[in-house]
């Protein structure tokens, strides 16, 4: 339906029905799909499904399109100052974690999580990007991976992922 390539029968790809249903809802103006929905959607892996790389790229473009539309609507109704205020408000939600001491920025996992030192190092780039001294992109944030760690040397993955989703939201809003 969407024109995504499928992986071979021996490979796992995204469930075609789930992907098609999501993109159908996303095309419908009244489908209620938001940027957050796009960032958080997950599809089951099945044999001979859609190529995950192609679908993920389409999701990235969809999120960017939603952000551009929201920016346009905000600027049409409140002008550039309204959009800048919105972006500044989003940025401020990121700063408190950046101001925490290293290795204390996120909760610890129950078992294995992301390497706290690797996450903290990447957050240095996030901080620099917010200050305008690093040209970090949303694509770089989406692509970042962290090695696993345990105990005091780790952060819980879910809260780090949620934080990085907000970083993507801010970077797209700033673009």
- Domains of the chain: which residue ranges? 1-71, 100-175
The confidence score (pLDDT) of residue 69 equals 86
- Cβ neighbours around 118 below 10 Å, total: 18
Mean pLDDT (whole number) for 68-93 = 90
Kindly report the average pLDDT of the chain as a whole number. 92
Question: What are 85-141's pLDDT values in tens digits?
Answer: 989 999 999 999 999 999 999 999 988 999 999 999 999 999 999 999 999 999 999
Confidence category of residue 30, pLDDT binned at 50, 70, 90:
low
The confidence score (pLDDT) of residue 31 equals 67
Residue 29 has pLDDT above 80, yes or no: no
The confidence score (pLDDT) of residue 102 equals 94
The confidence score (pLDDT) of residue 66 equals 85
């Amino acid at each position: 339906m969407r024109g995504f390539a499928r992986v071979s029968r021996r490979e796992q790809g995204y469930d075609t029905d789930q992907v098609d249903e999501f993109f159908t809802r996303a095309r419908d103006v009244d489908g209620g799909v938001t940027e957050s929905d796009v960032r958080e959607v997950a599809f089951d892996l099945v044999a001979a499904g859609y190529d995950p790389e192609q679908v993920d790229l389409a999701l990235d473009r969809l999120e960017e399109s939603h952000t551009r539309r929201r920016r346009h609507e905000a600027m049409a109704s409140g002008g550039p100052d309204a959009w800048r205020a919105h972006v500044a408000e989003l940025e401020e939600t990121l700063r408190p974690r950046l101001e925490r001491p290293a290795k204390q920025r996120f909760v610890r996992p129950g078992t294995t999580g992301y390497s706290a030192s690797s996450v903290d190092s990447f957050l240095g780039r996030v901080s620099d990007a917010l200050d305008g001294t690093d040209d970090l992109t949303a694509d770089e944030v989406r692509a970042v991976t962290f090695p696993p760690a345990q105990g005091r040397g780790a952060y819980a993955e879910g809260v780090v992922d949620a934080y990085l989703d907000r970083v993507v939201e801010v970077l797209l809003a700033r673009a």
